[in-house]
C-alpha cells in the first residue's frame, strides 16, 4: 500500500509540474492510525479551496520521518507530535536529528496524543510496574511513538534490556502480534479512540495501564503533560486511565508560499466538522489554542490568518 501511495504521490507531482498546478503532498502516518484519515480530510479540503492545486496523501512512519521529509522539500504539510517537532527544530541527535531542521514552520496546534500502554489481560500485567521482563512493542523505527517510549521508560528507570523481547512495530503490526499472543504489551501514542486499539479491545481482553504522575514529572520536556483517556473510549475500559498527553501540530516548511499556507490554515478552521467526521480526535482542535507554544516559528501564512481572527496581535 505504501509503495502505491508513493507512486501515486510522484505521479501527481509530475502532473502538477507539467501543467503549472501547485502540488501539495500531505504527510501522515500509518493507515491504521489517526494521522492518516485526518490527512485525507485535509487533502480533500485543500483540493477544493486552493486554486490550481493537486493534492496527495502519503502514508509514512509518522512524526520523525514527516519532519525530515519536510526539511528535504518532499512534502508541503505534515502532522507531528510536539516533542518530535521541537527536537527536530533544535537538532537533537539523540532523537534522530543530526542537525537542526531550520526550514520547519508551524501552522497550528492540533489535538493531544495520549500514551496508550496496553497489555493482554492474560499476560499477568496489572500495573505499569509489571511490564519488566515482558515482550513489548515500542513503536515503529524513527517514529514519534518510539521517541515517546524512550523518554517514558527512561523516566521510569526501565531499560530496553529489562524486557524479554523488544519489537519496533507500527500500530497495525503491534496489534496483530498482540492478537497472536506474540506480545504482552504495546505502546501507542495516538488520539483517544484510535482504530487499531478499538480493534484489539473488541477482539480480546486487554488492560489499559495508568502511568503514575511522578514518572510524568521526571520527563524533562514540557510537551509531556498528565492526560486522561476517558472511560469507555475502548471496549472493556470502564474507568478513566491516567496517562501522558503530548500535543500534535500541523507543520509545513519555509518554502511553501504565504498564500498557500494562509489558505491551508483558513480552510482547516472553517471546516473542522470535516476533520471531526474523519476522526473524533479532531474535536480537540480549536482556534483559541492554534498559535500557543509553537515548537518552531509560525509560518507567515498562518500568522496572517491568526491576526485576521484576533488570535495574535
CA pseudo-torsion sign 46, 52, 57, 62: negative
What 3-state class would DSSP assign to 112? strand
Average pLDDT, the chain: 92
Q: Cα–Cα–Cα angle for 286, 287, 292, nearest 5°?
A: 95
pLDDT range class, residue 12, cuts 50, 70, 90? very low
Q: What is the pLDDT of residues 217-266, one digit of tens each?
A: 999 888 899 999 999 999 999 999 999 999 999 999 999 999 999 999 99
In which residue are the cell numbers 481482553 written?
205
Q: What is the pLDDT of residues 173-205, one digit of tens each?
A: 999 999 999 999 999 999 999 999 999 999 999
| Domain spans in the chain, listed from the N-terminal domain onward | 2-111+248-308, 113-246
User: Which residues make Cβ contacts (< 8 Å) with residue 261, sequence separation at least 6?
Assistant: 105, 107, 252, 299, 300, 301, 302
**HEC profile of 210-278:** CCCHHHHHHCCCCCEEEEEECCCCCCCCCCCEEEEEEEEEEEEECCCCHHHHHHHHHHHHHCHHHHHHH
Query: What architecture is the 2-111+248-308 domain classified under in CATH?
Result: 3-Layer(aba) Sandwich (3.40)
pLDDT of residue 252: 98
State phi, psi for 136 to the nearest 5 degrees.
Answer: -135, 150
One fold for 2-111+248-308 and 113-246: yes
Which pTM does this prediction carry?
A: 0.85
Query: What architecture is the 113-246 domain classified under in CATH?
Result: 3-Layer(aba) Sandwich (3.40)
Asked if 248 and 39 touch (Cβ cutoff 8 Å), the reply is no
Asked if 137 and 215 touch (Cβ cutoff 8 Å), the reply is no
Q: What is the pLDDT of residues 109-162, one digit of tens each?
A: 999 999 999 999 999 999 999 999 999 999 988 788 999 999 999 999 999 999
State phi, psi for 189 to the nearest 5 degrees.
Answer: -105, 105
Out of 13-27, 44-58, 85-99, 136-150, which region has the weakest mean confidence (pLDDT)?
13-27
H/E segment holding residue 54:
strand 53-58
Amino acid at each position: 500500500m505504501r509503495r502505491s501511495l508513493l507512486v501515486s504521490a510522484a505521479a501527481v507531482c509530475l502532473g502538477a509540474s507539467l501543467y503549472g498546478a501547485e502540488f501539495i503532498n500531505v504527510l501522515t502516518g500509518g493507515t491504521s492510525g489517526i494521522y492518516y484519515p485526518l490527512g485525507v480530510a485535509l487533502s480533500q479540503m485543500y483540493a477544493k479551496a486552493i486554486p490550481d492545486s493537486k493534492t496527495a496523501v502519503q502514508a509514512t512512519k509518522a512524526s520523525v520521518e514527516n519532519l525530515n521529509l519536510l526539511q528535504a522539500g518532499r512534502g508541503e504539510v505534515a502532522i507531528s507530535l510536539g516533542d518530535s517537532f521541537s527536537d527536530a527544530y533544535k537538532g537533537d541527535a539523540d532523537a534522530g536529528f543530526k542537525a537542526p531542521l531550520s526550514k520547519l514552520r508551524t501552522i497550528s496546534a492540533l489535538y493531544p496524543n495520549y500514551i496508550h500502554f496496553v497489555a493482554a489481560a492474560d499476560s499477568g500485567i496489572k500495573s505499569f510496574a509489571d511490564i519488566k521482563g515482558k515482550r513489548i512493542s515500542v513503536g515503529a523505527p524513527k517514529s514519534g511513538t518510539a521517541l515517546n517510549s524512550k523518554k517514558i521508560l527512561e523516566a521510569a528507570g526501565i531499560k530496553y534490556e529489562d524486557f524479554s523481547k523488544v519489537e519496533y512495530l507500527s500500530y497495525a503490526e503491534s496489534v496483530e502480534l498482540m492478537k497472536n499472543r506474540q506480545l504482552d504489551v504495546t505502546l501507542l501514542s495516538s488520539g483517544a479512540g484510535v482504530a487499531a486499539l478499538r480493534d484489539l479491545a473488541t477482539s480480546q481482553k486487554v488492560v489499559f495501564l495508568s502511568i503514575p504522575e511522578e514518572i510524568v514529572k521526571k520527563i524533562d520536556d514540557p510537551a509531556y503533560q498528565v492526560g486522561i483517556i476517558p472511560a469507555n473510549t475502548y471496549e472493556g475500559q470502564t474507568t478513566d486511565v491516567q496517562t501522558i498527553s503530548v500535543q500534535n501540530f500541523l507543520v509545513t516548511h519555509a518554502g511553501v508560499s504565504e498564500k498557500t499556507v494562509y489558505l491551508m490554515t483558513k480552510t482547516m478552521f472553517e471546516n473542522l466538522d470535516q476533520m471531526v467526521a474523519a476522526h473524533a480526535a479532531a474535536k480537540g482542535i480549536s482556534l483559541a489554542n492554534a498559535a500557543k507554544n509553537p515548537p518552531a516559528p509560525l509560518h507567515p501564512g498562518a500568522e496572517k490568518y491568526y491576526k485576521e481572527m484576533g488570535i495574535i496581535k
